[in-house]
Structure 1
Amino acid sequence: MSVTTPPADPARAREMFRSGVSSPTAGWAPGYAQVNLIAVPADWAQDVRLFCRRNPAPCPVLDESGPGSVTTRLADGADLRTDFPGYRVWEHGELVAEPAEVTAHWRDDLVAFLIGCSFTFETALAAAGVPLRHIEQRRNVPMYVTDRQCRPAGRLSGPMVVSMRPIPSALVPTARRVSGAMPAVHGAPVHEGDPALLGIHDLSRPDFGDSVEFRTGDVPVFWACGVTPQAAVMASRPPFAITHSPGRMLVTDVRDEEYRVPRVMNPQPYHRPPEER
């Protein structure tokens, strides 16, 4: 089931996903925050918690559930098992299912982490005049696994994933300023320009999402991405995990402005600490 005009109301969006609509959520409920999901058994929760704390750019945690809980303070009445428009189920690092809902897969010992998403600052980018090619072209945002290793935590390790948006070169400083004011949803870009410097060799072949066409004068701009925990699941092979399908988020009731800091001075790109080099 597809939708031509996404709703403006978060509760309506979640209702549609619960009824079976599957769609990338960029452009849905403009002005409201969206979140990624990783849920793991309780005995892995501390590893995920520490991994996110050590890697705040790709993994900014906005909420954490208690074991077995399927609710979140970010969205009234939401059910984490049904209200994303797509899920992934993992066993020992292998993708074993991509269901529309995960009620049958949810376990009483699962702890869910809801991680900030860059779709949250896209309304502000658009308001500042920055074009969003993936929305214009009705595609999922492209995402790539980089050669930048995240800082490990316990049993969890893996590479950083980035999302990419083609931005007109003259508007890159605007994109950096606007997104940099929202560090809780990935903040400023981690890289601009040559993708090879991130270990990305072909922009037309993203690891997740869709390829996006560039316009004359566009340059690739990369943001840390909340799919990074999925790369860590593949690398570290926990016995079980549930995640969202890349690009298909939970639309929350929280206004995006709640995650905007008053002023960010000269937001800096990501730099690997010495132990990661």
Structure 2
Amino acid sequence: MLAIPKFPEEFRKLCREELHTSHTSGILPGYVQANLLILPAEEAEDFRDLCFRNPVACPLLAHTVGDPNTLSNSAIIKEGTFDIRADFPKYNIYEKGSLVEQKLNCRDEWGAGYVGFLIGCSYSFERALSQAGLPPRNVVEKKNVAMFKTSKMLDPAGIFIECPYVVSMRPYKTQDLPKVREITREFRLTHGEPIDWGYDGAERLGIEDLQSPEYGDSITIADDEIPVFWACGVTPQLAVETVGHLINGPVIGHTPGHMLVCDIKDENICN
């Protein structure tokens, strides 16, 4: 089994060399992880507006500037140590809204004028939960987090109309919910506190089967626990599926659960 390095730059190098290709749940706790969406220039402004209008579901950390190696916020990743086309473990490739391929890099799909967006990821608050004695079940079971499509809609922006939320789910006891909310509320750039909880919350979100997530892995919910739902950074990819017929050229996202590990630490993005 491949040893996980101690620092994000070294881990990104493993991904770039296609040596780590699995999910990043529990990887390098304490460092921020990020979701991805790469779009042609023509749709980039609409997507940026979508993020600004929906900061809980699509908290924008940074975007590329001019090339795949430079970010608008150098605090997220040190300059000269990054290639957005290869530093995620795995990529989803979309054409006209349909997932057509999964690849270990997207160098061939990156086109002139493309813009890559890094979106905050809820993996970034899992260390804080664990330190409080509330480890997420996906971490305990060494699985990808469970993610579900919902009937809750984003506020529209440009071409992005009638686009649903995706949520991640972690089970907790009802008496632990106030502490879970308090801890995750601080992480506003990585989705913040839950948007709903409980089996009635699942019904409100339009989730019918908690053991059949659309993305990630099914995880155990004990009899004395309830499901707790956070907005999820896979939401932009579902938006692309929804309006993809309007986008010319490939669109690239991370494979759900297969995140970018950033240089910035989780405590540095709280509030």
TM-score, with structure 2 as normaliser: 0.92
For 1:117, give the aligned amino acid.
C
Aligned to 1:12: 10
Aligned to 2:69: 70
Q: Secondary structure at the match of 1:106?
A: coil
Q: Percent identity?
A: 40
Deviation at 1:186, TM superposition (A): 0.3
Of 245, 264, 267, the match for 2:255: 245
Q: Secondary structure at the match of 1:98?
A: strand
Aligned to 1:59: 58
Query: Which consecutive unaligned segments of at least 5 residues does structure 2 have?
Result: none
Q: Give the distance between the partners of 1:172 and 1:212, measured in 2 at CA.
A: 18
Aligned to 2:129: 125
CA RMSD of aligned residues (A): 1.3
Q: Secondary structure at the match of 2:117?
A: strand
Number of aligned pairs? 259
Q: Give the distance between the partners of 1:49 and 1:90, measured in 2 at CA.
A: 19
Q: Within 5 A, what are the aligned runs for 1:18-57?
A: 18-20=16-18, 21-57=20-56
Deviation at 1:67, TM superposition (A): 4.0
Of 132, 138, 142, the match for 1:134: 138
Q: Give the distance between the partners of 1:32 and 1:216, measured in 2 at CA.
A: 32
Aligned to 2:229: 222
Cα 1:217/1:7, change in 2 over 3 Å: farther
Does 1:152 pair with 2:159? no
Q: Secondary structure at the match of 1:25?
A: coil
1:214-245 CA distance string (max 9 Å, x none): 23422100000010000100001122311111
TM-score, with structure 1 as normaliser: 0.90
Deviation at 1:131, TM superposition (A): 2.1
CA contact (8 A) 1:33 1:255 kept: yes
Q: Give the distance between the partners of 1:216 and 1:258, measured in 2 at CA.
A: 36
Q: Secondary structure at the match of 1:143?
A: strand
For 1:17, give the aligned amino acid.
C
Q: Give the distance between the partners of 2:182 and 2:149, measured in 1 at CA.
A: 24
Q: Give the distance between the partners of 2:28 and 2:67, measured in 1 at CA.
A: 28
CA contact (8 A) 1:64 1:112 kept: yes
Query: Which consecutive unaligned segments of at least 5 residues does structure 1 have?
Result: 262-277
Larger mean Cα displacement after TM superposition, 210-219 or 160-169: 210-219
Cα 1:67/1:96, change in 2 over 3 Å: farther
Q: Give the distance between the partners of 1:16 and 1:168, measured in 2 at CA.
A: 37
CA contact (8 A) 1:47 1:153 kept: yes
Of 187, 191, 212, the match for 2:192: 187
